[in-house]
Amino acid sequence: MTLAIDFFFSFRSPYSYLAAPRAFALADDHDVEVAFRGVIPMAMRGQSVPLAKRLHTLRDTKREAQRLGMPFGRVHDPLGDGATRCLLVAEHAVDMGRERDFVLAASRAIWAEAVDVATDAGLRGVCERAGLDWSACAAALTDPALQARVDADTAALAALGHWGVPVLVLDGELYWGQDRIEDLERVLTRQLA
């Protein structure tokens, strides 16, 4: 039986951006299933984040991105329409088997290339880079079934007693934060040995 990991992710979270390549790599390195679970950003769920925390997060993520060798710093905050549009296209990408490609392309565009994914031009470029057909992605933006899946994933994170991302879940155990992926990898190595 293949082990399954739920990967709760927000396009507004720079930590999710840092986690995504390593989270998806778990599927390759350990022959596990990594299920993308996109969630609505905290600020869009009525949870306030103090300015000092937001500023610290940007400084910390820049430092972590340098450590990981990932580009970072040309940021276009996707809060609002940008995040919503990315979540809907990500659900469409799941159906196409291209979620990894889209999540990596969109998060890099947001956190390293200052692409405005709230615009059709910005999002279209990301979709095309991920190998997705723009007309199908544009249709996904108004698909209530895809929005219901985003809402269900957001509710599932809350049902786990959590609010922040990234969160990876294996066998009911939560690994919160991009800095916990190595812990999860050690557990996988033991379980699959």
13 has catalytic annotation: yes
Instruction: Check pLDDT > 60 for residue 164.
Output: yes
pTM of the complete model: 0.95
Taking alpha carbons only, the member of 107, 14, 8, 110 closest to residue 54 is 14
Instruction: Check pLDDT > 80 for residue 182.
Output: yes
pLDDT for residue 38: 98
Instruction: Check pLDDT > 80 for residue 1.
Output: no
Q: CA 180, CA 130: separation in Å to the nearest integer?
A: 27
pLDDT for residue 48: 82
pLDDT confidence band for 170 (50 / 70 / 90): very high
Quick one: average pLDDT of 176-189? 94
Quick one: average pLDDT of 159-175? 95
Instruction: Check pLDDT > 80 for residue 130.
Output: yes
- Tens digits of per-residue pLDDT, 74-109? 999 999 999 999 999 999 999 999 999 999 999 999
Q: Are 101 and 130 in contact (CB under 8 A)?
A: yes
On average, the pLDDT of the chain sits at 96
pLDDT for residue 148: 99
Q: Are 187 and 170 in contact (CB under 8 A)?
A: yes
Q: Are 123 and 93 in contact (CB under 8 A)?
A: no
pLDDT for residue 150: 98
Quick one: average pLDDT of 151-162? 96
Rounded-to-10 torsion of CA 50, 55, 56, 58: 130
Structure tokens at 152: 């269900």
Instruction: Check pLDDT > 60 for residue 161.
Output: yes
CA distances from 177 to 142, 167, 174 (A): 31, 6, 10
Quick one: average pLDDT of 114-118? 99
Instruction: Check pLDDT > 60 for residue 63.
Output: yes
Q: Choosing from 10, 13, 16, 107, which is the catalytic residue?
A: 13
Every domain of the chain and the residues it spans: 4-191
User: What CATH number is given for 4-191 in this structure?
Assistant: 3.40.30.10
Proportion of the chain in helix, strand, coil states, percent, rounded to 5: 60, 10, 30
Instruction: Check pLDDT > 90 for residue 49.
Output: no
Percent of the chain with pLDDT over 70: 99
